[in-house]
Chain A
Amino acid sequence: MIKFDRVTKRYGESRDALREVSFSIEKDELVFLTGHSGAGKSTLLRLIMLMERSTRGQVEVNGRDLQSMGRGAIPGHRRSIGVVFQNHQLLFDRSVFDNVALPLIIGGYDHREVGRRVRAALDKVGLLSREGSMPVTLSGGEQQRVGIARAVVGKPDILLADEPTGNLDPALSAEIMQLFEEFNRVGVTVLIASHDLALISRLRHRIITLRDGTMVTGTSD
C-alpha cells in the first residue's frame, strides 16, 4: 500500500531529513512510526501526502509512483488518504458537522449522502451529539476526534496520523489508539507517527523507528 525505496529528502545544501529509507506497508496493516523529534517522522508523512517530494528514491502509494504524479493529480491523491494532524487543523468558524463534511463537499457528494456519512463518522468517534457545536467549545481530545472523523468520513484506504495523542492524557490517548485499531480492523491501512513509546509498545503492532533520518528498525515484520 505504501512503499519507500531508498528515499532521501534533503533540505537545502546539506541537511538530510531522510536518508535511504526503505520499507513497505501492506494493505490492512497498522504501523507505528517513531523516533525523537526531528528524526524525520513528519517529513515521511509529508512525502506520502505530496506536501513534499523526495530528493532521491521512489515513494509508491496505492500502486502509484508519486514522483511521476503531476500537480493536477495531487488533490485526488490527497482525497484517497485520510490524515489526522497533531494540531487538528480544524476550521474554527465552522461547526463540527461542517468540519467533518469538508472532504465530502470537496468530493462533490449530494447533501443527503453528506449528512448520512458525517453522522456515521461522528457516531464512530462518539461525538454525534456535538455536531452543531463550534470546535472551540470542545476539549482537546474531542477536537482530535473531530479531526479523526474528518479523516475517515471519505472512507479512505489509507489513514495517516501525525502525533494524534500529542497533547492528550494517557487514558484519552489509549482511547484514540483504540479508534485507529478499529478502523484498521475494517480494512484501512493505518500509519501513525508517535513518540509515545510506552503506549505504542503495548499495542503490539509493527514499529518503524527513525533516528536522524535513517531507519533503525522496522524494515519488515
Chain B
Amino acid sequence: MARTNGREGAVHSRTGLDDRLHAWLRHHRMSAADSLHRLLDKPWSSLLTWLVIAIAMALPVGMNVALENARSVSTDWDRPAQISLFLASDLEQEPARELHRQLVGREDIEEARFVSSEDALEEFRQLSGFSELLDSLEKNPLPHLIVVFPAEGAEAGTIAELQATLEAMPEVEQAVLDMEWVQRLGSMMALARRIVLAVGALLVMGVILILGNTIRLAIENRRDEIVIVKLVGGSNAFVRRPFLYTGLWYGVGGGLIAALLVGGGLWFMGGAARSLAQLYQSGFEIQGLGIMGGLNLIILGGLLGLAGAWLAVSRHLSEIEPR
C-alpha cells in the first residue's frame, strides 16, 4: 500500500481528527492502567471492596442457580400429571380390560395401567392394615381403576380436556386429575423466582451504592489533584475518566470473585447432591454457571461498577472547582 501523505509534518499536527482520536485513546489507556495500578497498590482495601461486591452479586446469582437446578429436578419427574379413572362399580372385568386396551391405543395417552378391583383391594389390605375389617365385607367395594398418563409434553389445558373426555365415557364413574401437587410446586417455584428477583434487584442497587460511595471517597482523596488538573485546563471528561475506570475495575473484580464464589459453592454442594440423587436413583447433577454465565457475571459487575462510578462522578466531580 503506497502512502499518499505528501505533507511533511502532518503527523505532528494536532488539529487532525485522527490525532484527536489517538489522544483520546491514549488517555483512555492511561486512565485504565493508572486506576488499576491505584487499586493494586492498596491490595487489602481493594480486596475488601471486591469481596463486598462479590458477595452481594453471588447471593442472588447463587440462589438463581439453585432454582434452575430445582426446576431441572422437577422436570426430571417426567410425568407430572396422571388421571385416575374410577370405573362404574357394576362394570365387569372383561369390558374394563377392553376399555384399557382402547385407551392404550389413543395418541394423547402415553400409557395406561389397569388395576382390577381385586388387585386394588389386595394392595389396600396390605397398606392399610385393615385386613380383618376388609375380610368381613361381603363384597369388594372398590371399582376397577385405570391410571392414565397423558402424552409427554401435554399442556395443562390439553390434560384437562382429556380428563373431561374420559369422564364423559359411560364406563367411567369418575376421572380424577392428580395435578395439584404439580401446580403447587409450580407456584412455589414462581414465588421463589420472584423472591430471587426482588433480592437481586435490592443487592444490585446495594452494589451500585457501595461503589458510588467508594468512588466518592476516591474523589475526596484526590480533591487537590482534581483542582490542579482543572486549573491547567483539564476538562470534566478528562477528570472523570480515571474514576470511571476505577469503578469498572472494582465491578469487574467483584464479578470475577462472585463467579468463583458461586462455582466454589456449587462444587462444595455437588458431592452431597450427587449422593442424595443416588438414593433416589436419579442421575441428577448440579448445573453450574458455565463459562458464559461466569463471563456474564463479570460483564454485569463491570456495568454495575460503571453505573456506581457514574453516580458518584456526576454528583461530586462538578462540585470540585478551583477556588
Residues of B within 8 A of A77 (CB): 233
> Which of B224, B227, B233 sits near A103, CB closer than 8 Å?
B233
How many angstroms between the C-alpha atoms of A111 and B19 in the bound complex?
A: 13
Tally of A interface residues using CB under 8 Å: 26
Tally of B interface residues using CB under 8 Å: 26
- B322 to A106, Cβ gap below 8 A? no
Residue of A with least CB distance to B11: A110
- B323 to A108, Cβ gap below 8 A? no
Residues of A within 8 A of B322 (CB): 49, 51
Residues of B within 8 A of A89 (CB): 227-228, 231
Question: 15 pairs across A/B with beta carbons < 8 Å?
Answer: A51-B231, A72-B235, A75-B234, A77-B233, A78-B230, A89-B231, A90-B228, A102-B228, A102-B232, A103-B233, A106-B238, A107-B23, A108-B14, A108-B20, A108-B22
How many angstroms between the C-alpha atoms of A80 and B233 in the bound complex?
A: 8
> Which of A83, A103, A108 sits near B23, CB closer than 8 Å?
A108
Give A contacts to B, CB under 8 Å: 49, 51, 72, 75-80, 83, 85, 89-91, 93, 102-103, 105-111, 113, 150
B229 at interface, CB cutoff 8 A = yes
Residue of A with least CB distance to B323: A51
> Which of B225, B230, B238 sits near A91, CB closer than 8 Å?
B225
Counting residue pairs across A and B whose Cβ atoms lie within 8 Å, the total is 65
How many angstroms between the C-alpha atoms of A108 and B29 in the bound complex?
A: 12
How many angstroms between the C-alpha atoms of A107 and B23 in the bound complex?
A: 8
> Which of A78, A111, A113 sits near B233, CB closer than 8 Å?
A78
B124 at interface, CB cutoff 8 A = no
How many angstroms between the C-alpha atoms of A75 and B30 in the bound complex?
A: 20
- B231 to A105, Cβ gap below 8 A? no
How many angstroms between the C-alpha atoms of A72 and B237 in the bound complex?
A: 10
How many angstroms between the C-alpha atoms of A15 and B231 in the bound complex?
A: 26
Give B contacts to A, CB under 8 Å: 12, 14, 19-20, 22-24, 26-27, 30, 224-225, 227-236, 238, 321-323
How many angstroms between the C-alpha atoms of A105 and B30 in the bound complex?
A: 10
Residue of B with least CB distance to A103: B232
Residues of B within 8 A of A109 (CB): 14, 23
Most-contacted residue by chain A among B19, B26, B224, B322 (CB, 10 A): B322
Residue of A with least CB distance to B236: A75
How many angstroms between the C-alpha atoms of A76 and B237 in the bound complex?
A: 13
How many angstroms between the C-alpha atoms of A113 and B11 in the bound complex?
A: 12
How many angstroms between the C-alpha atoms of A108 and B236 in the bound complex?
A: 15
How many angstroms between the C-alpha atoms of A51 and B233 in the bound complex?
A: 11
User: 9 tightest CB-CB pairs across the interface, nearest first?
Assistant: A108-B23, A79-B233, A78-B233, A75-B235, A106-B234, A75-B233, A103-B232, A89-B228, A51-B322
How many angstroms between the C-alpha atoms of A75 and B226 in the bound complex?
A: 13
How many angstroms between the C-alpha atoms of A103 and B20 in the bound complex?
A: 15
> Which of B224, B225, B233 sits near A106, CB closer than 8 Å?
B233
Most-contacted residue by chain A among B24, B26, B227 (CB, 10 A): B26
Most-contacted residue by chain A among B27, B225, B227, B232 (CB, 10 A): B232
How many angstroms between the C-alpha atoms of A93 and B38 in the bound complex?
A: 12
Residue of A with least CB distance to B234: A106
- B26 to A102, Cβ gap below 8 A? no
Residues of A within 8 A of B323 (CB): 51
Residue of B with least CB distance to A108: B23
Nearest chain A CB to B224 CB, angstrom units: 8
How many angstroms between the C-alpha atoms of A79 and B238 in the bound complex?
A: 13
Given A51-B322, A106-B238, A108-B23: A113 in contact with B12 (beta carbons within 8 A): yes
How many angstroms between the C-alpha atoms of A84 and B238 in the bound complex?
A: 22
Residues of A within 8 A of B30 (CB): 105
Nearest chain B CB to A13 CB, angstrom units: 20
> Which of A78, A90, A105, A113 sits near B27, CB closer than 8 Å?
A105
Residues of B within 8 A of A85 (CB): 231
Given A51-B323, A109-B14, A113-B12: A102 in contact with B229 (beta carbons within 8 A): yes
Residue of A with least CB distance to B321: A51
> Which of A80, A90, A106 sits near B229, CB closer than 8 Å?
A106
- B232 to A110, Cβ gap below 8 A? no
- B27 to A108, Cβ gap below 8 A? yes
Residues of B within 8 A of A79 (CB): 232-233
- B24 to A108, Cβ gap below 8 A? yes
Residues of A within 8 A of B321 (CB): 51
> Which of A72, A110, A150 sits near B26, CB closer than 8 Å?
A110
Give me 5 other A-B pairs in contact (C-beta within 8 A), A79-B233, A107-B23 excluded: A72-B235, A77-B233, A106-B232, A108-B24, A110-B26
